[in-house]
Chain A
Amino acid sequence: MSDSTGATTRLAHWYRSYEEQTESVTLGIWLFLVTEVMFFGGLFMAYTLYRSLNPEAFAAASHHLSIFLGTVNTAVLIGSSFTVVMAVWSAERGKQKSLVFWLGATIVLGLAFLGIKANEYAHKWHEGLVPGPDFVFHDTREGVHAAADPNRARMFFHLYFGMTGLHALHMIIGIGVFLTLMVNAIRGKYTRQWHDPIPVAGLYWHFVDLVWIFLFPLLYLIGRH
């Protein structure tokens, strides 16, 4: 788009100012995030309900998850939220090189998260913990008198793969979005005046981080002492 002077403008003609445009697109991504809250909310609801109905089997099943890998991944994801914040901060000040760097750092951390997650999935596959015809479950907790029911433990892994899988899908989409942003940033598309895609994508990334902040204690930590 061009204004009357011929200079490129990113201000859509139906907005009176960049502030108004930014307010509007921010509202848009928040409305999308509300639908995401209900999307993941249904799964969280199902998980807490089944956990409360099968406390023993779910505690036994969660003992098969690695707290170490889960903690590392939590730190990686929190770090990526921080790099996103730094990218937004750079964009607001028109620091192009810094913006490209922090977008790149976010992508690297996102890929690290997915790599660790893939490693965990591979382990579960080899242990036979993927729900399906080859599912086998052994109660590995020490000092337990009555072993947990494998059929109830299977439900834990259905929910584990469903929730972390959906979360990982969001990560993959997020990395795609950030790659696009980085290419555009290298091309100098974002200016101090207009850089709306950076904070909008940032809000999405933070939301995906928020989901993990709840997934980590619910899946990995509860019932482990």
Chain B
Amino acid sequence: MKKAFSDHLLDWSGRLLVLLILIFIALPFIVVFIVSFNDSSVVEFPPKHWSLRWYFNAFSYEDFVKGLRNSLMVAAVGSAISLIVGAMFAFVFNRYEFSIRRPLHAILMSPLIVPNFTIGLGALLLAKGIFVPRSFGLLVLVHVMVTLPFVVRGVSVSLQNFNQAYERAAESLGASPWYILITLTMPLLLPGLISGWLFAAVLSFNEFSASLFVANLRNQTLPIAMYNYVREYADPTLAALAVLYVVTSAAVLTVLHVFFRLEKVLNVE
């Protein structure tokens, strides 16, 4: 079928629009990429001399090194707890009817609406009220609160597409509930568990607002260290760090896309 001229116009203007929006998304990262190789210690565009010194500076700045270590620790512990607690809750929420099922779900999902800065402030005031210091444990608890909704959501999607006939078959053949859970249910839920954990880990690693309220100088995370750096220095060190972030994230996403097909994980197929 031959397309009319107006159809072609519609197609090409649509493509142009999509391209412009993609450029808008990529623009700050392109600029940051160029600026990060700028030799001058003030951010200027376009750069006159090129150098790699900001990359070396990013790796040698003590607060970033400590911040990275703290962020990795908090993200690892926080996302692991979030995954276990969230997956177990998603399981009982999707399978059973019990008295506190709905209120519990509403409270656990509330951080999607309650802003992170409010949760951070609340945790800080709570800790103060019961004389708990601003510790690593408090930071982890806050990270669990803000990442849990994403785990519950991710695992729930997998559970809704789950065919329970397999479990019934295993049960009728005499398998114990634990045996069914570990050898059948968990392997089948693996994609949901992985995507839920990944979301939790990434969100936790990047979490800023809530952490700002509950972290102290000793356990400050990388985003907080970066925020403090911008307030004190104007040089492009952070641009170098941003480039490393962008490259790593895009690489991880591409690998995930090739192996797991992200459309399926995100339910946008």
The answer on A and B forming one complex is no
Please give the residue numbers on chain A whose beta carbons come within 8 Å of chain B beta carbons, in ascending order: none
